[in-house]
Structure 1
């Protein structure tokens, strides 16, 4: 996904302002359900959903207008998976920063960056908890303009990973180093704002010679004569669902929502369903050009758009440690204190999936 972390830092600042206004930051962890009723083993997890305890209507916040971040809900709605668990309507709000609304109570759930949600949970003590992973893969791609075909061709060229000291900037430097390019000597790295779409346009326009871009940009870049020079995909639990008051007001609803949307995700990540999913998204008003549709297999791979909502604790350890070093997450944050996995485990069990992470291994 990789939006620039400048946006996230601004988002974090707005969250902290709200928390101060709300009196957050105390020691009582209001609404914290993570300290109780957490099973020690898979056999202790109940996968049955009591529909009589499920809220019929939900309002959720999604931070990205791209169809990838809406499809689970819309497919679950279209296929009847939401109704099967007692949810009749989900109203999706596209909000650049959904966390203040989640903390304030106008959103039931929010889909946002895992690190930003965990950082807000630590600062607020309002009960915000990270629930499950949505995107668990991270594509690191250096896209370059026409005429650059090798690492040697980068000598003296200008490239960007977005805002300096962001995650994008850091992983671009790592990518260069892995491919034999010295970020400090061989290229000129500049700091830029905007998201990956803007960086792509900067490469096409010749404003920069190369930039950190996304998998869906391959076709657009190649049509302009450019190419993906370096690329890798690694496991990073970068994005997922978080909840706050709903965990105490209607915990059954959280499990129901995850079960329905994970069932939809299983449909989505089955590649033979590509045309059906994209047709539905277009009917819902999403613009999906051919180049973006061509990225479906990569963006909706079960290891990228994580099919079970789970993650490896070691991957989360590294991700949060990285984000602490980038100052996106407060020093000393233990993500386990602000992550509540019982609803995910119950949803996984309801769907007949292995429980991941394994209870007792978090």
Structure 2
């Protein structure tokens, strides 16, 4: 791993802010200011050790961030789900994070547009409802217990919305026709194998692990629910205060992010090995070759955040009670990314009229 990058193992959602503020991020202010004033010597990044966060893993372990940031040290913190990462971001314990769209939408609306900006896409696709043997149709889900990674995260909202479309009632306390229970992916994997859960709406590589190692099967591939199969799964977001105070640091991180995404696209075979090596370094064990190959075949890595999909995501979150209504005008700030794309003679990405300017 590049010498200027320090990583910290996954931190549980409970107590994440106390852990980061007390230990990993001593400079963070109690009011959430964090690195928002004066010179900085480090940039603090949040991410997941998932296949859908491959640009983060490749950027960290492949040296792309290190090359782009130069003397600026990158401290990386692994999380298990988006709401926990957003909590740390909002408290000023980290500066930038790879997260799903729903947590980014939630914090933006709750803060009145002052909390974060989406500065790039990272991944599209790579999520599915995977269920045990005996469940062959939506009707078979009546009375079952289905997991999502965390209440209000992107897969949680997708699961609740799909269940509602099938005529099932759910609620946020885990009751209803189908009981939705937010459960960390690793724990859900074990519980389904043990017969204590009936399925889960999961990101990759967990969906592929359940199919290939857990005797489960896919009931719904989320790509089937979107036009052209494209929907935002992972985004790169930055605290607004950090972006205002340190635009050059953000641009440098974007350079590393863009380099990682492009390297993955140009080197698919090597990328599968590199991503699996990074997951092994993060979790202590590599995935099976068949698992990583299947997982990556369901994910498209792109810097396009697919902004046009966001109104539908908001409507779904409001319907399911995981977020309140509000405007997302200004949620995207794609200017720095588009400047970098222009220098490479590559097409601009659209903010669908939801940009900061």
Which residue number in structure 1 is paired with residue 311 of structure 2?
A: 317
Cα deviation, residue 247, structure 1: 1.5
Residues 1:267 and 2:263 are matched in the alignment: yes
Which residue number in structure 2 is paired with residue 50 of structure 1?
A: none
Residues 1:326 and 2:310 are matched in the alignment: no
Residues 153-302 of structure 1: matches in 2 within 5 Å?
154=140, 158-162=144-148, 168=155, 171-172=158-159, 175=162, 183=168, 188-216=177-205, 217-233=207-223, 234=226, 235-244=230-239, 245-270=241-266, 271-278=268-275, 280-281=277-278, 284-286=281-283, 287-290=285-288, 292-299=291-298, 301-302=299-300
Cα gap change, 1:321/1:204 in structure 2, threshold over 3 Å: closer, same or farther? Answer: same
1:156-187 CA-to-partner distances (Å, cap 9, x unmatched) read 66242548887646644665688xx6546xx9
Query: Unaligned stretches of 5+ in structure 1?
Result: 1-6, 12-20, 25-30, 32-53
The size of the alignment, in residue pairs, is: 305
- Cα pair 1:128 1:338 within 8 Å, conserved: yes
Cα gap change, 1:353/1:82 in structure 2, threshold over 3 Å: closer, same or farther? Answer: farther
- Cα pair 1:349 1:355 within 8 Å, conserved: yes
TM-score, length of structure 1 as denominator length: 0.67
Residues 1:133 and 2:132 are matched in the alignment: no
Match of 2:46 among 50, 57, 61: 61
Which residue number in structure 1 is paired with residue 332 of structure 2?
A: 339
Cα gap change, 1:108/1:191 in structure 2, threshold over 3 Å: closer, same or farther? Answer: closer
Which secondary structure state, in structure 2, belongs to the residue aligned with residue 343 of structure 1?
Answer: helix
Which residue number in structure 1 is paired with residue 108 of structure 2?
A: 121
Distance in 2 between residues matched to 1:243 and 1:336, nearest whole Å: 16
Query: Unaligned stretches of 5+ in structure 2?
Result: 1-12, 18-29, 170-175
TM-score, length of structure 2 as denominator length: 0.68
Residues 1:355 and 2:348 are matched in the alignment: yes
Which residue number in structure 1 is paired with residue 133 of structure 2?
A: 146
- Cα pair 2:307 2:352 within 8 Å, conserved: no
- Cα pair 1:255 1:346 within 8 Å, conserved: no
Cα deviation, residue 132, structure 1: 1.8
Further displaced range: 264-273 or 193-202 = 193-202
Distance in 1 between residues matched to 2:98 and 2:158, nearest whole Å: 23
Cα gap change, 1:182/1:293 in structure 2, threshold over 3 Å: closer, same or farther? Answer: same
Query: Root-mean-square deviation (CA), in Å?
Result: 4.0
Which residue number in structure 2 is paired with residue 91 of structure 1?
A: 75
- Cα pair 1:131 1:243 within 8 Å, conserved: yes
Distance in 2 between residues matched to 1:336 and 1:361, nearest whole Å: 5
Relative contact order higher in (CA < 8 Å, ≥ 6 apart): 1
Cα deviation, residue 316, structure 1: 1.5
Distance in 2 between residues matched to 1:119 and 1:156, nearest whole Å: 30
Which secondary structure state, in structure 2, belongs to the residue aligned with residue 90 of structure 1?
Answer: strand
Which secondary structure state, in structure 2, belongs to the residue aligned with residue 310 of structure 1?
Answer: coil
Which residue number in structure 2 is paired with residue 37 of structure 1?
A: none
Which secondary structure state, in structure 1, belongs to the residue aligned with residue 330 of structure 2?
Answer: helix
* Structure index of larger Rg: 1
Distance in 2 between residues matched to 1:61 and 1:360, nearest whole Å: 27
